[in-house]
Structure 1
């Protein structure tokens, strides 16, 4: 689908990748319904896009709490009324560190935002999308949705799940007008990565891409219709190898294991809540 034909619901519009993607898509002629938590930030972002040249009629926004099923349902009603033909799942939460340092609340929030919310929103909009001559569901995942790294067990679980959802739904809808796609960026230069992740990336030699580069690849995915795309080298090679010989790579992560923050001194029953 050409960008000028796309009416895109973009979740996570105010994040690092989200802002760059909104700008790139708007410049390419797409209409956008920006989705995030803060009405004030969304309204400011919409005004910035219009000031940068996007037609006012092409830019809207909707505040939504993606941890709330009722809020997702309201978003779906608004998006269908607005006439969306693309759902771009860009919202996400990070999770880094040894498993025993992760609180139950944080683990639940990551899985809710990164995995369950895209599933619920897609389900709520699927009837509308199936009525469109052409429609797309694009899941912004991660290379860590195909490569499990030490320190990212919770985050990888959410993105592995998202990849599985996209792959299965793509095959389920293969004979319909709805195309399901997945894009897996590697580490990106945004506030998503805290100081611990930055130190880990430096210690392990992990490269980071600017968000504008990821945004360009999302635009390319939208327009060329590819089923999935992973970004960066050697990450793209590792994705292929891990898919064919997953245990073969197990010995490659010694440096990663030893670059993690220390585990908390906790006993059974005293884990973070």
Structure 2
């Protein structure tokens, strides 16, 4: 799909990779609907893109939606379909780093919700519309950690492994349709996504990092070329291949990573107040920003 022919719903649009991807997509000729939580941040981002890139205002729309809430997905889908999107880039996600014993059940559920379940459900809801397009694309921004498990990233990798598996299976399921399914696996990227603990881990393990614009350029290339998967960085790309063929052979290669993990920080015990705080608000109490169309 040529970028100039694409109308892209971009989730996580205000994040590090998301912001860079929005800019690169628009520069390549795409129209983009920015999706994220903050109306103020999205509006400012849209104005800045129009002003700095000198493009028509109608090429940069935005819609505020809390993707952690299942009941926010249908309104987003309706707006995206009305806007005639023919591509969705799943860029929203949340980090998770540390030893498994440091996570409570709520934290694990939150990571899997945003990194795996939400992209699945949003894709499912958009498919009837995307199937009607002459050409369409569903592009998942995953991670190298979706094919290469590292110490300290068990929870994060669980979501990304699932996301890559979902993309692979769905790609084969839709092979006889106009909808292409693609997966981009960046390596560690220089964004605010990384905590101080991750930064220390990367330094201790001499982990190479890309900037967000490198990932954004790869994303646009993947969309235009229609390739099924792309992983970024060396030796990460080689490790992904080896891990796919004989994963046990690499088990001994990550001693430095294991030894660089922070000590276990036991999660706080769950209380009744915790479960009350996790209870979803009523639909009446939850309002979405009106579509900017």
TM range (shorter): over 0.9
Q: 1:216, 1:13 → 2: CA distance?
A: 15
Pair 1:48-2:48 in alignment:
yes
Partner of 1:173: 174
Listed as ranges, the matches of 1:83-102 within 5 Å are: 83-102=84-103
TM superposition shift of 1:102: 1.2
Partner of 1:61: 62
TM superposition shift of 1:29: 1.1
Deviations along 1:141-187, whole A, 9 cap, x unmatched?
00000000000000000000000000000000000000000000000
Pair 1:139-2:131 in alignment:
no
What SS is found at the alignment partner of 2:63? strand
Contact 1:180 1:227 in 2 (8 A): yes
Partner of 1:71: 72
What SS is found at the alignment partner of 2:134? coil
The count of corresponding residues between Structure 1 and Structure 2 is: 271
Partner of 1:27: 27
Partner of 2:241: 240
C-alpha distance 125-189 of structure 1, shift in aligned 2 (>3 A): same
Listed as ranges, the matches of 1:1-273 within 5 Å are: 1-52=1-52, 53-264=54-265, 270=269
Deviations along 1:102-130, whole A, 9 cap, x unmatched?
12222111111110111011000100000
Normalised to the residue count of structure 2, the TM-score between the two structures is: 0.90
What SS is found at the alignment partner of 2:210? coil
TM superposition shift of 1:54: 2.2
Please list every run of at least 4 consecutive aligned residues from structure 1 whose deviation after the TM superposition is greater than 2 angstroms: 269-273
Partner of 2:280: none
* Stretch of structure 1 that moved more, 99-108 or 203-212: 99-108
TM superposition shift of 1:264: 2.5
Name structure 2 gaps, 5 residues minimum: 275-293
TM superposition shift of 1:271: 7.6
C-alpha distance 229-218 of structure 1, shift in aligned 2 (>3 A): same
Normalised to the residue count of structure 1, the TM-score between the two structures is: 0.97
